[in-house]
Structure 1
């Protein structure tokens, strides 16, 4: 497995791999390049099996000292191999080197694997809320 990171939007072949994988992981939900371009200090980590993007972790600046880990996922064929953990480890190490002191994320109870991974990595639940679409959300944060 090869791991790469990009500050900003990656080249087309990687971007298309991320968009396709996002649709697979989030069951048809589409990620648009325009939405990525709107994010300040966008950082994307990817896991690749040869040329194929099989995992990603996307985040951006939330505040001067906090990074927001926004989206992530691993293809179902590759789950259980530590890819999500490695992407998270690399993301946290890198953003710490940039001067961030906290990382924040939002998860859902139905995404148990991600919620458990966040807790294993030291995240604490700091609040919950119900989105405009009526979905229960869990806000987690950890110090770097």
Structure 2
């Protein structure tokens, strides 16, 4: 089988919005306006993954209101590009960037129903640090954190 070239690069909000609309787990993806509001006036990182020159995934994070914490806000890999190590490469790049920019921890939230994301975090050394209850158990937010 031919090896495929995976490239991680800085990206744009427009690319992230286009990709997020193709990720099946995102019921109502955020608009460009929400991304601009969330990312303006604070340090942030937008990463894009390409496979053989085609957009395949993304990861977006920013400086948390809590000092020293980089919040990994949104990310996803298109279904046809999964199981290629793309999410790992995106996370490695994000964590390296955060550490090099003086952050001590990375934090993210996921939903209780997204067990693959919970496992991904645990396998990367994240710990569950909080639970935010919602009306339905499957929608509870799992807060995970990792020291850099």
TM-score normalised by L of structure 2: 0.83
- Partner residue in 1 for 2:31: 32
Task: Count the aligned residue pairs.
Answer: 137
Listed as ranges, the gaps of 5+ residues in structure 1 are none
Off by >4 Å, runs of 4+ in structure 1: none
2:38 pairs with 1:5: no
Listed as ranges, the gaps of 5+ residues in structure 2 are 1-5
* Deviation for aligned residue 1:71: 0.6
Q: CA RMSD in A?
A: 1.9
TM-score normalised by L of structure 1: 0.85
Matches within 5 A, 1:24-63: 24-25=22-23, 26-38=25-37, 39=39, 40-62=42-64, 63=66
Matches within 5 A, 1:1-144: 1-6=6-11, 10=12, 15-25=13-23, 26-38=25-37, 39=39, 40-62=42-64, 63-131=66-134, 135-144=139-148
* Deviation for aligned residue 1:50: 4.1
